Amino acid sequence: MNQSSAQPSLWGASFENLWCTGLFLVLSFSTVSSLAGSQGAEPPLLSSFAMFIRAAAFLGVALMARNIGSLIGRPRLLVAAAAAMGLCLLGRIFSFALEDGAVRVALSFGLVAISNGCVAALYLAWMEFYAQMGMRHGLAFLCVVHLGSALTSFGLFSLAVAPIAGAVAALLPMVSVKALFRADCVTKGAPFRQGEGVDATPWTMSPRPLVLLGAFTLTNTFLRSFLGVQDRAFVLLGVCVAAFAVLAVAARCFGSFEPKALYEVSVPVLIAGTMFVLVAVPGANVAAAFCSNAAFTLFSIFITVVFCAISYRYGVNALWLFGITQAALTSGSLLGSLLSRGEALLSLSGAGATAPIAVLVVVLVALSMLLVSDRDFETTWGVTPRQDTGEAPSALEGEELEMRRCSKAAKLYGLTRREEEILLLLLRGQTLSRIAAELYVAESTMKTHSRHIYRKVGVANRQELQERIEGIPV
């Protein structure tokens, strides 16, 4: 997580590393497939069925992650999945011409099931690749991924002839797989790609991040349900603006940019989008979707970077980790879709329908903020190894214990948030000058903080401080 910050270059040694952004083709494929399907004679619940299948596929890969080992190491499987995605999209487009409604519906559901299962496989293969990168290079690549996906999706959707757009989109998965293989090859020995690889250790995950993921995607999906197809294509601009802004800031502050800033910005932007739903003026729905898409882009980049960093630093199996998190994200989208359909079924209209639901969503997002702390951004966010035997605690467990002791000490002795952060670094043996450099403060300021910590805890030196904190039961 910190190795890449020493790299002065945004892209690494060569612009060949732009192959690492090939995930945007998979995301573009999913967006174009959704927009194309909404224009045809497909069943209303087909999009919800697609989300259900995708969530099930992600969860299935997570459960079999230890047996699968690596998706990148299974090129035939990925090529077959890419080919199936392209054929399924073409099949959906040309099924609109079928006169038999029952056959058309059955074919649509079957093609959607196959396509979404394959999308999950390709997406997780890319996540396995990103999980081997340092945090800041992964951040830069993911910004380009979202920017490229929005531009490509908008370009394809703007084509006047749907079959042509569908034929082009059908090629995207295969090109993405080729880009993945090429990126894996050209970055093999890159300094920023030194992840720990696949770990055979079984892991467990706290429900806190999963609830947050579901709440955020539920909100975004619900807001987008107020738009027509044309509006949904137009507000891809929100994705472009958000991704480009983050890319510009990351490029300028490459060594010091903190991804948690994305989360801190995304929440108020999403709430602003929710408020636009309540405004009965022309263009309010587009403004709402713009804010929603921008917020969700910031949140998606943030959450992907954080979990890639966890996998990179601790060797957590990326297929397991992203399989579970993406299942939570997709489940949130599914619930948001069903919620919007439920509102329509109840024949509610105007502010009478949107006001209580929008307020409910805002409260849900606000409550979700309680599920994450600054410490979660720097550690494993509740992802811990499952000990099946009486073995000694791992290094990861030791860090979690340190975090808990420092948190309890802060409450016992009245330490500020900054002092709690410094206390943890002191316990890890870092010098005051190094802590000052890491926190971007003057060394004199750091000495003042350390004196305050010693005084509040009631100790005279670091040795006594360590003994006092280690004696705190957790």
Least confident of 79-93, 113-127, 150-164, 304-318: 150-164
Angle between helices 350-368 and 318-345 (to 10 degrees): 160
Q: What are the DSSP E strand ranges found in 14-69?
A: none
How confident is the model over 94-147, as pLDDT tens digits?
877 776 678 888 888 999 999 999 999 999 999 999 998 877 788 889 999 999
Confidence tier at 345 by pLDDT (50, 70, 90): very low
All domains of the chain, ordered by start, with CATH? 4-384 (1.20.1250.20), 392-470 (1.10.10.10)
**Res. 4: pLDDT tops 50:** no
The reported pLDDT for the residue numbered 5 is 36
Q: Give this prediction's pTM.
A: 0.78
Q: Choose among 6, 47, 7: nearest CA to 338.
A: 47
The reported pLDDT for the residue numbered 283 is 74
Are 243 and 296 within 8 A, CB to CB? no
**Res. 80: pLDDT tops 90:** yes
Least confident of 37-41, 45-49, 245-249, 467-471: 37-41
Confidence tier at 360 by pLDDT (50, 70, 90): low
How confident is the model over 158-190, as pLDDT tens digits?
775 667 777 888 999 999 999 999 999 988 877
Per the prediction, the chain carries an average pLDDT of 80
Quick one: how many helices (H) and strands (E) in the chain?
20, 2
Question: What is the three-class DSSP state of 414?
Answer: coil
- Measured over the CA atoms of residue 442, residue 448, residue 452 and residue 454, the dihedral's sign is positive
